[in-house]
Amino acid sequence: MPTVSSEELAAAAGVNSAKLRKDFSYLGSYGTRGVGYDVEYLVYQISRELGLTQDWPVVIVGIGNLGAALANYGGFASRGFRVAALIDADPALAGKPVAGIPVRHSDDLEKIIQDNGVSIGVIATPAGAAQQVCDRLVAAGVTSILNFAPTVLSVPDGVDVRKVDLSIELQILAFHEQRKAGEEAAADGAVPATAARKQSAGKGPDGDMPAVMPA
């Protein structure tokens, strides 16, 4: 399939074709009127804009179950990420290979960052160690941090942090699940699934109040 129309792409993505064309237009005029978009050319342009064509060395700090899962994750290489090193504070792990990469001791963290020109770090340590690891990464020159530890990290200006909370997505599913159940029960006086029910929210002892309610 050498070319594709905005209509086809939009249908595949579940969005409006005008939106897709307008979004693409912000990247440049990469289509041909009457024909569509050249697939290979479009893929390259989008890849470049997203930074997929660059090589990004990253370090993963904290090689527990999650760190090991990340090290084994196949999706990184295809998006331009290269795991420059795995780092853990446990001396017993040092030298052992995980996903084919030997684990290094955290004493060498600064040297590893500098030798490899790493600007992105992944923190998969327990919560208690995360801020300290973060501080060392930043001091060594890392400017973007992906944090899996259940802590809010504080960093100086100019450093980006993104926090991944593995339970947030479950939370969202549970929210929709709750609404599904609510709709089924809507006939017998249950709270409707829409957010618009402003008037019914009296604070009295009204049955939907739990023991936790303040006096």
Closest CA to 73 of 61, 83, 85, 59: 83
Length of the chain counted residue by residue = 215
**Do 119 and 84 touch, CB atoms closer than 8 A?**
no
| Site residues (CB under 8 A) for a copy of itself, limited to 24-53 | 25-30, 38, 40-41, 44, 48, 50-53
| Phi, psi of 123, deg, nearest 5 | -105, 115
**Minimum distance of a copy of itself from residue 165's CB (angstroms):** 6
**Residue 190 contact among DNA, a copy of itself, none, beta carbon within 5 to 8 Å by kind:** none
| Binding of residue 114 to DNA (CB under 7 A) | no
- Indicate the DSSP class of residue 108: G
| Binding of residue 105 to DNA (CB under 7 A) | no
Q: How far apart, in whole angstroms, are the C-alpha atoms of residue 189 and residue 114?
A: 63
| Binding of residue 164 to a copy of itself (CB under 8 A) | yes
Out of 18, 39, 170, 172, name the contact with DNA by CB under 7 A. 18
Query: Under DSSP, is residue 12 helix (H, G, I), strand (E, B) or coil?
Result: helix
The 146-185 contact track toward DNA, x by CB under 7 A, reads ----------------------------------------
Element (H, E) at 17: helix 17-27
Out of 162, 180, 198, 203, name the contact with DNA by CB under 7 A. 198
Identify which range of 27-35, 113-121, 138-146, 166-174 contacts DNA by CB under 7 A. Answer: 27-35
The 34-73 contact track toward DNA, x by CB under 7 A, reads xxxx------------------------------------
**Do 52 and 69 touch, CB atoms closer than 8 A?**
no
Q: How far apart, in whole angstroms, are the C-alpha atoms of residue 142 and residue 57?
A: 11
Site residues, DNA (CB under 7 A): 5-7, 15-19, 21-22, 24-25, 29-37, 198
